[in-house]
Structure 1
């Protein structure tokens, strides 16, 4: 890998949608993107040439003129992840994860926050299940903690860990809510990290063993399985910028990690097929539409390569059985990714799946020099630009480029400055606006032929937001951390009505 490519990778990670950028106007509790202007906008032709995206101003569609009805069996849901909500970090045989180590290291997280207690979901899951029922959820996407099942990442299952998820899944069925389980949402057992982590090819095989253990225990009760959550975030935030566990800044390692995460996905798919389960399975990718920041050929070329790293690296390998040639050329023939590919790997990675989980948060506008610029207001997460049309663009692009694979949106949301009022209410009107506009974009995609089956708000509960600790609140439900009291925010009441009406 050349020094130039190394610098470009580090800059890309620093400027990507998963990294902090200079904060622009933030979307507050009542703000909307309606006043935003595109400025030096990407042209529609340029965006379409690169990503099949449309760069129309979303303001005209901010308020749908007519009621938008969703398909009768649409799966309205919400999402969480184990380390962010469960707590009980040292209970019932759970082992250490990389996030336990990372968050307990001074200076790694805001205020030194950890997930040791989080939203205490491990003890309060029954209460949370009742809240899901009251919200009207039809689907709940959660993750299974690998170190709760295999404390050291290998060997026999910890029965107490399996029993917890069995109780959770049974409770969902009792309330008429379909479980959607994610096998890996970043909490790698620390013992495996000590043995090389995702840089080690062996860890992909250990993941397949873990997946087989979980399938054997829960496979008949979980209709949908997701394999790896956001491999790109592990690569960019964990191995390029270093502000997520394991906290590395090593471009040479980063894309070997990407390959092993993709390999782990494919091995888990094969494991489910071998188990004979009737469950459906697929990956969960966070996808960011990449637009040229202007109409120059240089911006178009840079946006194409940026899209390769952000989207095609994962989509092409999973659905076409190949890595993008432009990305491989940019990394160079001596990169650890290229040298790490073994015969048969891409056939495993592209094992047929039943669905694709799409997670959309922000667009990326790429300049001719490979940098990025902001075009829209940001949320409290300064990396997140509020652009609902990006939801439409990424959903239609996936269907056009990768075929009619069923899609589910498994994360979409934003943090807002939520405060529990004296009257016991939380007025998060900015979240209502955000969700309404993104759901309208999803509805438009369905009308244009996208096979979107369900939509999951991120997140059900306020929770531990990784390196931001507890500063950012993303939930439909407010969590008062000192007391663990739960309170429906305005957005939860709004979403409940959307679900009940099956319409915006």
Structure 2
């Protein structure tokens, strides 16, 4: 076998990512309590594609041993999933569910047995219903509940999990639930959004504080979706718009978790418009003292902006888009199924930004992927020929390799996802996996991309 043209650093992570709600299923089994998605689906099933909720997902709860064997077959040396808060602590606080403890111990043990590093995330959009009813992330109670939940996870599993992440994409519940109507509670209210964002960052710091007090030897971080922001032009107006978009959408989360403080400009802007969240000064000391060891970086698409064509009305509600408009670049490459631009170089630009402006923090690509509708039409002799996914992954890996060669401390790549999974409001509309899932039989079939990835992982490059 010839030496790969793109050879990655030793011990590079090759694997995939998922979340508990999207893969486990068994939502009414094993002592699991309801989470916000169960609650919302029961309340408004019409909001979900084909009215399908996450009740069965991709049945990982029942099939984890076989699925982990498949991961091994596909060259995985690492796998990221999350613990279901409502499975482990059904009421959100208090009593721990012993069936959940047994499941997560067995799953982690099976990964380790197969030589696959368990990478465990604590929160992926799935708040237990009792905490939802108390105000969710708007409530200070949820911050303390999360810290206690995190501490319990460290106590139960910290001796065998070396890599922890507190949250996945904390901006998503903020943008989707409080500035749009894609997540519960479906309101548009910036001040409430700011409170949710702030409590998420504080909860991250509190969990890190508990982790370090536990004296464990591993590393802990957070997972952020970092879309690089590109201005339409070099004009001062467009450059200012890009700066503001980056401030709201990236630095509002990246700066406090890496530098221990919010951007001063953002704080002053929110203060000027009376949009600051409620906080205690002691909180800021907790955030400053508990920055992350490692960053998970999810990348799907760039953010392109321009200056606003029309100033917002004087009585318009305060939203980030008061300071910029989104911009569709002519001739852009698209994933038409998802409505997202494909711009591979964005992953490189962000890795270099982290190298140059964030102390070259250790980082890994915790999600990158391509959802495609109707993949069955690409099936030949029982296997989906997803060459488009192979091209997508390899084109991103080339830029990751280039960043690594130029000094980025990027340590791995996880595709979203391993087996076609349930996706929030879209259910199974778009498929992302290395492995195809038959919803009727639950049969798993490796796609062409899965076999290609196995070869890449075995060679540590391509």
Structure 2-normalised TM-score? 0.92
Deviations 1:123-180 (A, max 9, x none): 0111101101101101000000000011010002111111111100000011000000
Determine the structure 2 residue equivalent to 1:18.
none
Structure 1 gap ranges (5+): 1-65
* Corresponding residue for residue 460 of structure 2: 502
Deviates more, 1:108-117 or 1:315-324: 315-324
Q: Which has the higher contact order (CA 8 A, sep 6+)?
A: 1
Partner of residue 365, structure 2: 409
Structure 2: how far apart are the matches of 1:400 and 1:491?
Answer: 33
Match of 2:387 in 1: 429
Alignment partners' CA distance in 1, 2:195 and 2:168: 17
Per-residue deviation, residues 345-374 of structure 1 (Å, max 9, x unmatched): 223224132211111111011111111122
CA 1:498/1:422 → structure 2, altered by over 3 Å: closer, same or farther? closer
Deviation, 1:339, is: 4.1
Shift of 1:422: 5.6
Equivalent of 2:116, from 165, 177, 180? 177
2:341 aligns with one of 385, 396, 408: 385
Aligned residues: 439
Q: Flag structure 2 segments of 5+ consecutive residues without an equivalent.
A: 309-323
Contact 1:99 1:246 in 2 (8 A): no
**Structure 1 equivalent of residue 15 of structure 2:** 77
- Whether contact under 8 Å (1:140, 1:178) holds in the other structure is yes
Give me the whole-angstrom Cα distance separating, in 2, the residues matched to 1:289 and 1:211: 30
What displacement does 1:249 show? Answer: 2.7
Aligned to 2:327: 373
Output the TM-score relative to the length of structure 1.
Answer: 0.85
SS in 1 for 2:47: coil
The alpha-carbon deviation at position 465 of structure 1 amounts to 1.0
1:302 & 1:326 partners in 2: Cα distance? 14
Q: Does 1:400 align with 2:338?
A: no
State the match for 1:59 in structure 2. Answer: none
Equivalent residue, structure 1, for 2:259: 320
SS at match of 2:46: coil
Partners of 2:13 and 2:68 lie apart in 1 by 17
Residue pairs, 1:113-262, within 5 angstroms: 113-262=52-201
CA contact (8 A) 1:108 1:467 kept: yes
State the distance in 1 between where 2:326 and 2:277 align: 30
- Aligned partner of 1:299 in structure 2 is 238
CA distance in 1, matches of 2:246, 2:205: 22
Residues 83 and 380 (structure 1 numbering): CA distance in 2 closer, same or farther, change over 3 Å? farther
Which SS does the other structure have where 2:379 is aligned? Answer: coil
Whether contact under 8 Å (1:76, 1:454) holds in the other structure is yes
- For the 8 Å contact 1:363–1:390, the answer to whether it is kept is yes
The Cα of 1:427 is off from its aligned counterpart by 1.2
RMSD: 1.5
